[in-house]
Amino acid sequence: MISIKKYIFLFVLFVTISGKAIITNTDGEIVAGILPEEILQFAKDMSPEDIKILTEMASMKHQFGSQNELIEAIKEKSPELAVKMEKLIDGIMHKYNVLSEESKNFIKELGGKLNNFNTLKEKVNKIEELKVFASSFLPAYGKLSDNAKEELKQIFPMFDFLSMTLPKIVDVDSHEN
């Protein structure tokens, strides 16, 4: 079974790589208010070589049995990047550990869906992947208590952002599970 640390690590890889590539303002600053500060700072500090290494590791993520194996593979390519990744993961895990059980369970369930996200090879399937993810994410998020939603909004604001943005960009009604 994959640990919550690995889910968060995979999510961090996905968001950080995507964040560096597409979540930017016209002036090149990474959008604040959506991602945790640790991820924003990590993305700002990434070098082109770091991005290359993380992109390579993300494409090989299923070959690693644990977070430690993945960190070791990164360490072989860049010891400095491995230290930055460990610091990032520790910061995210600290935030995760203070969440209520309801919020933690939501993230665990979401982790399984994120693990399967971005597995199709053809770009034409990306919208379909997003629809599949949205059709799982939106109802699960909608069932959360107001307290859990507020907690997630404060600690991991991307969930609130996704809950408002996904319905605007994908027609989840046309995709039934």
Residue 18: is its pLDDT beyond 90? no
70 band by pLDDT with thresholds 50, 70 and 90 = confident
Residue 59: is its pLDDT beyond 80? no
C-alpha 75/C-alpha 97 separation (Å) is 26
Q: What does the mean pLDDT of the chain come to?
A: 76
Q: What pLDDT is attached to residue 75? A: 93
Percent of the residues in the chain that have a pLDDT greater than 90, as a whole number: 23
Q: What pLDDT is attached to residue 116? A: 57
Residue 62: is its pLDDT beyond 50? yes
In tens, the pLDDT along 121-171 reads 455 566 777 788 888 889 999 999 999 999 999 998 888 988 988 888 777
Residue 105: is its pLDDT beyond 70? yes
C-alpha 8/C-alpha 40 separation (Å) is 15
Long-range contact set of residues 74-80: C-beta below 8 Å, sequence gap at least 24 = 77/53, 78/49, 78/50, 78/53
Q: Is 177 helix (H, G, I), strand (E, B) or coil?
A: coil
Q: What pLDDT is attached to residue 78? A: 94
- Which residues are CB-neighbours of 80 under 8 A, at least 6 positions away? none
DSSP assignment of 161-174 equals HHHHHHHHH--GGG
Residue 16: is its pLDDT beyond 70? no
Residue 19: is its pLDDT beyond 50? no
Q: What is the pTM of this model?
A: 0.71
